């Protein structure tokens, strides 16, 4: 009987370890990407288009999402707004370019995206048009706009600086 309990426990532990590596897919949404947080469980991020989030922010409220976009600029937009409480001492916001406009650089200012300052400082050399990817959670729809905390941020592709700009 003791051997049966030990074997059952080993099977349960094996299943528990394997269960963390499965990714669940929805028929109506894109397949989420699974990302390991530095300390804690894996978080599933749904790959989305920024315009979809802006057009229907309540659909993404409290959801973990991943967006690939063109960086526009760092900003103070939305900082210190009482309903969302993202203080300028700890956070900076950034704007991405509208993906539906290709002949001009127009920011998607309806999307309030917050990044911790220490992460932003490591990426201070970003230029408008650099391709970035970021993951995080939409935590509010205040003013009818999506407000997102960024958990992961990476530069995918840097645009070449024009030598004449120096």
pLDDT tens figures, 66-90: 999 999 999 999 999 998 999 999 9
Q: Quick one: which of 39, 66, 44 has its CA closest to 138? A: 66
Q: Quick one: which of 95, 117, 118, 121 has its CA closest to 108? A: 95
Q: Which residue is associated with the tokens 């051997």?
A: 3
**Distance between CA atoms of residues 46 and 34, nearest Å:** 9
3-state class (DSSP) for residue 5: helix
Residues in the chain: 166
Q: Quick one: which of 122, 125, 132, 114 has its CA closest to 70? A: 132
Q: What is the mean pLDDT of each run of 10 residues along the chain (166 residues)?
A: 41 38 38 52 92 97 98 95 93 96 92 97 96 98 97 94 54
pLDDT value of residue 38: 56
Fold of 32-159: OB fold (Dihydrolipoamide Acetyltransferase, E2P) (2.40.50)
Domain ranges across the chain: 32-159
């Amino acid at each position: 009987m003791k051997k049966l309990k030990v074997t059952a426990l080993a099977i349960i532990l094996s299943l528990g370890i394997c269960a963390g590596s499965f990714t669940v897919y929805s028929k109506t949404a894109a397949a989420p990407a699974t990302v390991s947080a530095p300390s804690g469980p894996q978080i599933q991020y749904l790959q989305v288009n920024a315009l979809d989030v802006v057009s229907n922010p309540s659909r993404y409220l409290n959801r973990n999402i991943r967006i690939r976009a063109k960086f526009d600029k760092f900003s103070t937009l939305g900082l210190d707004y009482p309903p969302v409480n993202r203080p300028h001492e700890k956070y900076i916001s950034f704007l991405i370019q509208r993906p539906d406009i290709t002949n001009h650089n127009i920011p998607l200012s309806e999307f309030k995206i917050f990044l911790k300052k220490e992460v932003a400082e490591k990426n201070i050399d970003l230029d408008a048009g650099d391709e970035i990817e970021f993951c995080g959670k939409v935590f509010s729809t205040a003013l009818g706009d999506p407000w997102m905390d960024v958990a992961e941020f990476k530069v995918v592709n840097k645009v070449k600086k024009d030598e004449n700009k120096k």
